[in-house]
Amino acid sequence: MPAHRSKPPRLRREYELVNVCFITAEGDKIPVEAEAGTPLLQLAQGVGMPLEGTCEGQMACSTCHVIIARDWFGKLAPASCDEEDMLDLAAGVTQTSRLSCQIELTDALDGIVIQIPGEFNDMQIG
């Protein structure tokens, strides 16, 4: 009689993937996925979105400015006062603008839609 074998443990994924859809300034939709925990700016740059991120997340440039789709904006943690101050200096700001260097992708953001603005201000340059 064969020895009783218990079911193998169900393999858990080591990380969750978060689906993100970038919409370029020209209106093209670019669907991508990333591991939860990935900074949005890093993902955007990795797939060729034209976000300079000049200050590398120090909230001193606003070249990482993106526009969050209205349905998704409320699912993000609120912007800090420093982020709000820097957004005031960004070009083409809307009510759902954020600095992508301040957004970390989580499972709750699976499916988020991000518009890439058509104009940028770099506050580190004149």
The residue ranges that bind ligand FES (CB under 6 A) are 41, 53-57, 59-64, 86, 99, 101
Q: Which of 100, 112 has the CB closer to ligand FES?
A: 100
Nearer to ligand FES, 58 or 108 (CB): 58
Question: How far apart, in Å, are the Cα atoms of 109 and each of 15, 20, 102?
Answer: 14, 8, 14
CB of 87 to ligand FES, least distance (A): 9
Cβ 82 vs Cβ 89: under 8 Å: no
CB of 12 to ligand FES, least distance (A): 33
**Whole-number Å distance between alpha carbons of 120 and 61:** 10
